């Protein structure tokens, strides 16, 4: 199955160029285009594209805000800022950009980015829905309340917590729970020695890490011992975790 790509740029010529470059690479399909940020989120929601080529300045509006919305819907959406404005680079990587391409494009540079994307796999996501989360002191459990049910989640079984489709999903070794609580709410209830905010969209159990590898530019991907899930990690957190184990 082809990797779905959308293009968001107010210059028709740039979109045509990118489409030609992308469609020359086997395994990619451009499934939509937008010339404005107002429609870009709607296009992403409709297509669920894995890759978004996004200009930072479009008709006087800022693409970083659009990227924040998309990454809240899907943290692993691979956003590639394709822009003439190199001064936004640091802000883009704080948000999480898979890559940052400066116009005029070097074709081989775009190919390199596409090759890196193709080498990555996308895990399946399975969850069920609950609403409210609470820490039960002395029990080492989180209580996740649904409309008609309560689930007691062993804290030591939590592998990672991530933002997903505008909700927060708690993944344990055998199950998953979706809550309306923010990552910050959950982070405040967990031991900072055991859990790390590895990325704006991920909270991970350090004791469950199996491997860390490069992912995007200045970003890493974390794999875990007991589940077929992964998480993103910023370069700052990568350096921090290295110091922990020196």
| pLDDT higher at 65 or 45 | 45
Q: Are strands 219-224 and 230-234 parallel, antiparallel or unpaired?
A: antiparallel
SS3 13: helix
The whole-angstrom separation of Cα 192 and Cα 71 is 24
pLDDT band at 210 (very low <50, low <70, confident <90, very high): very high
- Evaluated on CA atoms 51, 111, 21, 218, the torsion sign reads positive
Can you state the angle between helices 37-47 and 63-73, rounded to 10 degrees?
A: 20
- Whether residue 172 lies inside any domain: the answer is yes
| pLDDT higher at 1 or 238 | 238
Confidence at residue 145, expressed as pLDDT on a 0 to 100 scale: 67
Q: What is the pLDDT of residues 64-84, one digit of tens each?
A: 888 888 888 888 889 898 877
CATH value at residue 140: 2.40.50.1020
Check if the beta carbon of residue 210 is closer than 8 Å to that of residue 231.
Answer: no
Q: Which domain holds residue 9?
A: 3-118
pLDDT band at 130 (very low <50, low <70, confident <90, very high): very low
Last residue of a domain, one of 61, 84, 118: 118
CATH value at residue 38: 3.40.50.2300
How many domains, the chain?
2
SS3 223: strand
The whole-angstrom separation of Cα 212 and Cα 192 is 20
Q: Are strands 195-199 and 202-205 parallel, antiparallel or unpaired?
A: antiparallel
Last residue of a domain, one of 118, 147, 169: 118
- Whether residue 60 lies inside any domain: the answer is yes
Q: Which residues contact 60 (CB under 8 A, 6 or more apart)?
A: none
Residue 176 in tokens: 């998953």
């Amino acid at each position: 199955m082809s990797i779905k790509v959308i293009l968001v740029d107010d210059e028709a010529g740039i979109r045509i160029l990118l489409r030609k470059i992308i469609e020359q690479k086997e395994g990619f399909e451009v499934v939509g285009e937008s010339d404005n940020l107002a429609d870009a989120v709607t296009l992403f929601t409709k297509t669920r594209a894995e890759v978004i080529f996004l200009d930072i300045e479009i008709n006087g509006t800022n693409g970083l805000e659009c990227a924040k919305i998309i990454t809240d819907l899907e943290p692993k959406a691979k956003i590639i800022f394709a822009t003439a404005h190199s001064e936004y680079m640091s802000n883009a990587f704080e948000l999480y950009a898979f890559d940052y391409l400066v116009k005029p494009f070097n074709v081989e540079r775009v190919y390199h980015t596409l090759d890196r994307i193709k080498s990555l796999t996308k895990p399946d996501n399975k969850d069920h829905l609950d609403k409210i989360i609470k820490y039960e002191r002395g029990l080492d459990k989180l209580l996740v309340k649904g409309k008609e049910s309560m689930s007691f989640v062993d804290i030591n079984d939590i592998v990672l917590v991530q933002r997903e489709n505008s909700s927060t999903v708690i993944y344990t070794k055998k199950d998953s729970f979706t809550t309306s609580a923010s990552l910050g709410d959950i982070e405040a209830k967990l031991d900072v020695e055991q859990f790390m905010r590895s990325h704006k969209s991920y909270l991970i159990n350090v004791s469950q890490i199996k491997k860390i590898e490069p992912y995007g530019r200045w970003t890493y991907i974390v794999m875990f011992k007991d589940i077929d899930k992964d998480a993103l990690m910023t370069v700052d957190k990568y350096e921090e975790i290295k110091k922990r184990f020196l």
